[in-house]
Amino acid sequence: MNTKPLADLDPDFDPIDGANALMFDCPVCTGTAAHSIAVTFEAPSLFPSGAIWKCLDDNQNTFTVSPSIDCDRGDGCSFHGFVENGVVRW
């Protein structure tokens, strides 16, 4: 299993389109495939699926959301992981 501190993935905790959200750089996709992962929590979803995560701790150093994040974008991104205690693991 791979891990990386959330702080190393340029996290942004600003609302997006009125939704409380966390955005961070995908730890798997780099170079021309680089993209951000958005996680909405306890707010309207940004996603057609209606996905909303529960924010268990909103401090950047101990940030935790549940459940896991599956970033199957249909374009080769294989990130499926967790954000727990300020660490992203996949």
Average pLDDT, the chain: 86
Does residue 89 have a pLDDT over 80?
yes
Residue 81 has what pLDDT? Answer: 94
- Arithmetic mean of pLDDT, 51-77: 81
- Arithmetic mean of pLDDT, 10-15: 88
Instruction: Identify which has the larger pLDDT, 75 or 77.
Output: 77
For residue 22, give its domain range: 3-89
In which region does residue 85 sit, left (phi positive, over 0), alpha (psi from -120 to 50) or beta (all else)?
Answer: left
Q: Structure pTM?
A: 0.85
Contacts of residue 89, Cβ cutoff 8 Å, sequence gap at least 6: 1, 2, 3, 4, 81, 82
Indicate the number of domains in the chain.
Answer: 1
Please report, rounded to a whole number, the percentage of residues in the chain having pLDDT higher than 70.
96
